[in-house]
Structure formats: C-alpha cells, structure tokens
Amino acid sequence: MSCEHPISYNIQIVRGDTKVYTIQFKDGNSNPINITGWTVFFTVKRNLKDTDTDALIKKTITTHTDVTNGVSEISLSPTDTNYVGNFYFDIQVKQTDSSIHTIAIGTAEFIRDVTNRTS
C-alpha cells in the first residue's frame, strides 16, 4: 500500500471469527518502504461522527512483521469481531516525522455466523 492516496475497500468479516490482515507498504515504484518507528491504526465505528473512544474496534500496531520490507499485520480476535451489521473503518499510519496518512477507508460488514459453538 502506498501512503499517497487512500484505497477504498469494502470488507466482510464473519461474526466471532479470528481475522488477520497483512499489509505491505510500497513506494510509487513498488519498492518496499522501511516502516521502522511507524504506528498503524485500525479503527471501526458505527457512525463516522463517533469519537475514537466510542469505536467498536481500535487497534494500535507498533510492532511489525517485517519492518525492512514494510510488512505489518492487523490481528482481530473473536471478541473484536463480535458484531453484526455494517460499520465504517479506516487504516491510518503515523510515520516517524509524526505525519498521519489514511491508507485505506471503507465499510466493514460483519455477517452472522452459522456455527456458535467453540468446542
């Protein structure tokens, strides 16, 4: 993902599932960007006007999978995904110079699962 323009996504998550999103940051020439010192924010809200305090999901990622190659992961637990409905999300990064960039924005549809048991 480039930090230049946000990408619009519509994602679908099954209620109560574990979900991992792997993202890789690249420059305009598709070369990996070193993300040492970056922070990735993933936020899901019922309404766009909700505060971050009222967000359904708010993840702050400061430890990345492979900083040299620009790889990070957003991990969601069954507790994180325990919703049904349509919501809004974005992914933002805070770079080492403290600049903030929205890299992805869209809707998150949490759909009802069929199986409810866990054992």
Q: What b-and-e string marks burial along 29-68, b requiring 16 or more CB atoms within 10 Å of the CB?
A: eeeebebeebbbbbbbbeeeeeeeeebbbebebeebeebe
- Taking the C-alpha atoms of residue 47 and residue 41, their distance in angstroms, rounded to an integer, is 17
Q: What is the pLDDT of residues 24-41, one digit of tens each?
A: 999 989 999 999 999 999
* Domain ranges (residues) in the chain: 7-111
Rg (CA), the chain: 15
Select the CATH number that applies to the domain covering 7-111 from these four: 2.60.40.10, 2.130.10.10, 2.30.30.60, 1.20.1250.20.
2.60.40.10
The ranges of the chain with pLDDT < 70 are 1-5
Q: State pTM to two decimals.
A: 0.91
